């Protein structure tokens, strides 16, 4: 399995709710920079948080790649989602090449759990950071972090 974990781009500091925060112009540029690392990759699906900034990030990646399948919005990728629940959802998908678009602290904890087997070593995921993990199955401690790209 190859798993890409992308944190949304830079977002507005405020909105009516956290879920409504939108990407800034700089955030859109960051996402396009990260999307370039996905060109030519064998993605089967893009899953994204329902929060606006993650939806905008996923849409930019989708359009940049000319991805045929629609972005799949799921409630288990919000900032405070349970990392173990995310692993369970990934197992149920049964896909080999997946991009997840989400938020901190979830993305850092997920990458840390998959690489180290625990969440005490969360990955340093800045805005639009892209982690590339590989392994036989999405299990704690059994995936290798191949790359961690940071957007400018």
Residues 44/92, Cβ–Cβ less than 8 Å: no
- 7 has which bridge partners? 102
Could you give the number of structural domains in the chain?
1
How confident is the model over 60-117, as pLDDT tens digits?
999 999 999 999 999 999 999 999 999 999 999 989 999 999 999 999 999 999 999 9
Q: CA 152, CA 144: separation in Å to the nearest integer?
A: 24
CATH label of the domain that carries residue 111: 3.40.50.1240
Instruction: Tell me the DSSP string of 34-90.
Output: HHGGGTT----EEEE-SSHHHHHHHHHHHHHHT-SSPPEE-GGGSTT--HHHHHHHH
Domain that includes residue 42, residue range = 2-149
Q: How far apart are the first and last CA of the chain?
A: 28
Coil, helix or strand at residue 119: coil
Residues 11/27, Cβ–Cβ less than 8 Å: yes
Predicted model pTM: 0.97
| Model confidence band, residue 121 (pLDDT cutoffs 50, 70, 90) | very high
**Percent of the chain beyond pLDDT 90?**
93
| Model confidence band, residue 136 (pLDDT cutoffs 50, 70, 90) | confident
Residue with tokens 């087997």: 117
């Amino acid at each position: 399995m190859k798993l890409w974990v992308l944190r949304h781009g830079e977002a507005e500091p405020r909105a009516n709710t956290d879920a409504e925060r939108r990407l800034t112009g700089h955030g859109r540029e960051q996402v396009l920079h990260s999307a370039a690392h996905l060109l030519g990759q064998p993605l089967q699906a893009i899953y994204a948080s329902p929060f606006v900034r993650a939806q905008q990030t996923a849409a930019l990646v989708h359009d940049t790649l000319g991805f045929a399948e629609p972005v799949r919005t799921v409630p288990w990728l919000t900032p405070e989602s349970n990392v173990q629940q995310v692993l369970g959802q990934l197992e149920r998908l049964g896909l080999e090449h997946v991009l997840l678009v989400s938020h901190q602290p979830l993305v850092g904890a997920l990458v840390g759990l998959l690489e180290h087997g625990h969440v005490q070593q969360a990955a340093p995921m800045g805005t639009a950071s892209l982690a590339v993990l590989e392994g036989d199955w999405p299990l704690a401690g059994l995936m290798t972090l191949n790359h961690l790209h940071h957007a400018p």
